[in-house]
Structure 1
Amino acid sequence: SDFRCYPWCNPGGLKLSGLGPSCSPECFQYRGTMDVFSKIARQEGIFRLWRGTAASLALAVPTVGIYLPSYDLLRNWIEEYSDHSYPKLRPYAPLIAGSIARSLACITCSPIELARTRMQAFKQSSGGAKPPGMWKTMLGVLSSRQSISHPENLQTTRGYHLLWTGMGAQLARDVPFSAICWMVLEPTRRHLLGLLAGEQSNAAVIMGANFSAGFIAGVISSGATCPLDVAKTRRQIEASRALDC
Structure 2
Amino acid sequence: MADRQKEIPKALKFVFGGSAGMMATLFVQPLDLLKNRMQLSGVGTAKKEYTSSFQAFRGIIANEGVFALYNGLSAGLLRQATYTTTRLGVYQMLFDMASRDGHPPNFATKAAIGMAAGVCGAFVGTPAEVALIRMTSDGRLPAAERRNYKNVVDAMMRICREEGVLALWRGAIPTMGRAMVVNAAQLASYSQAKQVLASYDFFEEGIFLHFCASMISGLITTAASMPVDIAKTRIQNMKYVDGKPEYTGALDVLGKLVKNEGVFALWKGFTPYYCRLGPHTVLTFIFLEQLNATYKRYAA
TM-score norm. by structure 2 comes to: 0.58
Match of 1:231 in 2: 231
Match of 1:143 in 2: 161
Structure 2: distance between partners of 1:135 and 1:207: 36
Identity of aligned residues (%): 22
Higher helix content, 1 or 2 = 2
Aligned partner of 1:92 among 86, 96, 108: 108
Extract unaligned runs of 5+ from structure 1. Answer: 1-24, 145-157
Classify the secondary structure of the residue corresponding to 1:195. coil
Match of 1:211 in 2: 211
**Bigger Rg, structure 1 or 2:** 1
Amino acid of the structure 2 residue aligned with 1:115: A
Structure 2: distance between partners of 1:45 and 1:142: 30
- Which aligned runs of 4 or more in structure 1 are off by greater than 6 angstroms? 240-243
Classify the secondary structure of the residue corresponding to 2:143. coil
Conservation of the 8 A alpha-carbon contact between 1:78 and 1:90: no
Classify the secondary structure of the residue corresponding to 1:196. coil
Match of 1:53 in 2: 73
Amino acid of the structure 2 residue aligned with 1:196: D
Structure 2: distance between partners of 1:127 and 1:121: 11
Shift of 1:207: 2.3
Structure 2: distance between partners of 1:240 and 1:43: 27
Cα RMSD (Å) of the superposition?
A: 3.0
TM-score norm. by structure 1 comes to: 0.69
Match of 1:180 in 2: 185
Conservation of the 8 A alpha-carbon contact between 2:118 and 2:182: no
Change (3 A) 1:131 1:44: farther
Amino acid of the structure 1 residue aligned with 2:198: L
Structure 1: distance between partners of 2:164 and 2:220: 38
Match of 1:30 in 2: 50
1:76-225, aligned counterparts within 5 Å?
Answer: 76-80=96-100, 90-122=106-138, 123=141, 125-126=143-144, 131-144=149-162, 158-196=163-201, 201=204, 205-225=205-225
Conservation of the 8 A alpha-carbon contact between 1:197 and 1:206: no
Conservation of the 8 A alpha-carbon contact between 2:82 and 2:125: yes
Structure 2: distance between partners of 1:77 and 1:124: 52
Amino acid of the structure 2 residue aligned with 1:46: V
CA displacement, residues 170-213 of structure 1 (integer Å, 9 cap, x when unaligned): 11112111101233222221121110268xx4xxx532222111
CA displacement, residues 46-93 of structure 1 (integer Å, 9 cap, x when unaligned): 222211011111221233322222111101212349x9xxx9x74322
Change (3 A) 1:180 1:242: farther
Structure 1: distance between partners of 2:73 and 2:224: 26
